[in-house]
Structure 1
């Protein structure tokens, strides 16, 4: 029996697109002939390991590698199905059936939309995270399968995962984005959209932040014996507590992001992935320069700024919280809330904190002045009645 061999090929045309990325394809080989199938996945050269044939150093590497495996399995399934039906195994058989298979598949459709969207990288990562969760919930899904009963089951799946109401709402908004795009592409009718009947539920947002004594517990934990992987996660989290940097910005930092304008004092400079605002943070002035001390632990700054996917990091933070004896649930984004809250508590003006965080509106920054009751006490103590 003839057997088609498959392998993943990166940047076959040796040409990067405008974003500095190239396509990953599947090469099918049979009888000295080859055929190529697009995976619709584009990555940068440094994000592809040719020896292992997989994506590396990418925020969504686990999810994308799983999708590459699914692509390979889909082609192998078409080959096996044709063999069982008595068809002659050939590359043309794959070409005939693969496009039809791709057109129906929700994840191929969703990933293609994300890759070619003009949205910001942070938004693309969030959309991909929703696709990853949906894939865990239902590994095989066609666009036409996404109906009202399915999103109710998906909502319940997220609740069982103990996701908060607003986090679930975020994933539902992402799913609605995919459904709206499917309608625009004619893959789904507007009448059959599940979001005609489904209402996204939200609650008033409460920002999780660490109190000074809780931050101290993590700092003390930093001096104890923990694995190098956990230490990296802890150091990155503490760095963001001292600087207010988002996860999406942290993983984009490079050694060139740390500059010395006067030759002595270190500043962190970067453009926010979310807002596009240029941010400059005087590292030597914030929290007694603790962020700088952390940086000195990592001679290769690129290693420090390279983190695992956000969901993995958050799981490790749960472990670190337990080791430090902190009962409060917090995530990597809590570092940003901690930074803002403690700066205001220490007497920094709202406009200063707004500039450091890169907020476009002062209203966004004002939230942090309301969550810590001790801030109110400190302000009243300064008043003369």
Structure 2
């Protein structure tokens, strides 16, 4: 018997009433989500979504649907990147015994992120993987009108200052004095020194053209004028980079008549050779193409160049970006300057 929405005179009346309450609460939640989305819906829509009619919350199905969509609109290289994200996030979630998106809300995803970070997973890579997962879930929710299952990306927090890997003057000199054993080593060595002297990263070195970018001002000073090739279009600004004598000699002797675009197709081969050279000459650091740019920025700051000047030469959109990247180095410079004052 049912009275005023409640079941009575039944051996399991209490359990049945609790079940009805849970069902009602769930359907109300789904209805509220529809209402906030300003999307038309029917009673049958609510019931179908609640029952999961014609719908799978299996993780593989969710990721498959997202990849199918992306393959129609993304480039081949971007699809390769997305497949890498998919493989990594699937591996992570499998290790955590998660094979469904049923309980993957924003809080749970944040928890997964923190858990994987504590296990030593690289932050930048993990952020890409989590973003891929969030996009896949939201795409699935939109397609199947299960709007209450949409999630938002985790709040990763502000970037914390971290140690910067760079070569000091002595280590740069060791690199300069190294005698390459073959053409591959000579090429990698000179590319790396060009980065250390100018702060140009791999793509900028690749696009360097002696006739187009190598210039002399009215005072006879040599400099490079180049359009910085950054991820953000806002940061793509023309930069003036004054050249030290070592840089001038290197450019005029080695890069003057060289087509740099044909030197390397991918950065991987360059990094491999660079790291092998570093091991041979006793530099106990993981030397890659990015280290040259960081070496330039760090040494300029430590030698007293203003942050504004370094920021402009590196092509940063704002001096704040430079402050964030080189926070640890700035602290070191403060102590160095204080020691000089204290000795007086």
Query: Which bracket does the TM-score occupy, shorter chain normalised?
Result: 0.5 to 0.7
1: CA distance, partners of 2:124 / 2:226 = 29
* Structure 2 partner of 1:77: none
Secondary structure class of the residue paired with 1:219: helix
2:205 is the counterpart of 1:250: yes
2:184 is the counterpart of 1:229: yes
* Structure 1 partner of 2:313: 356
What is the CA-CA distance between 1:232 and the residue it aligns to? 1.7
Listed one character per residue, the Cα deviations across residues 211-243 of structure 1 (whole Å, up to 9, x for unaligned) are 11111111112x332x32232222212111111
2: CA distance, partners of 1:313 / 1:159 = 31
2:224 is the counterpart of 1:270: no
Q: Report the TM-score, using the length of structure 1 for normalisation.
A: 0.52
What is the CA-CA distance between 1:109 and the residue it aligns to? 4.8
Aligned residue among 166, 170, 176 for 2:124: 170
Listed one character per residue, the Cα deviations across residues 332-366 of structure 1 (whole Å, up to 9, x for unaligned) are 21211110111122221211111111122223323
2: CA distance, partners of 1:231 / 1:187 = 54
What is the CA-CA distance between 1:262 and the residue it aligns to? 4.0
Which of the pair is proportionally richer in helix?
A: 2
* Structure 2 partner of 1:85: none
* Structure 1 partner of 2:27: none
* Structure 2 partner of 1:115: 75
Q: Report the TM-score, using the length of structure 2 for normalisation.
A: 0.57
What is the CA-CA distance between 1:251 and the residue it aligns to? 3.0
Aligned residue among 323, 329, 336 for 1:371: 329
Structure 2 vs 1, CA of residues 271 and 146 (structure 1 numbering), >3 Å: closer, same or farther? farther
What is the CA-CA distance between 1:195 and the residue it aligns to? 7.7
Structure 2 vs 1, CA of residues 137 and 177 (structure 1 numbering), >3 Å: closer, same or farther? closer
Instruction: Structure 2: state its 5+ residue gaps.
Output: 1-62, 92-98
Q: Which has the higher contact order (CA 8 A, sep 6+)?
A: 2
CA contact (8 A) 2:117 2:123 kept: no
Which of the pair is proportionally richer in strand?
A: 1
What is the CA-CA distance between 1:208 and the residue it aligns to? 0.8
- In the TM superposition, 1:23-34 aligns within 5 A as none
2:163 is the counterpart of 1:209: no
2:177 is the counterpart of 1:220: yes
Higher Cα radius of gyration: 2
Aligned residue among 312, 319, 322 for 2:279: 322
Structure 2 vs 1, CA of residues 289 and 130 (structure 1 numbering), >3 Å: closer, same or farther? farther
Q: Indicate the RMSD between aligned Cα atoms, in angstroms.
A: 4.7
2: CA distance, partners of 1:309 / 1:156 = 33
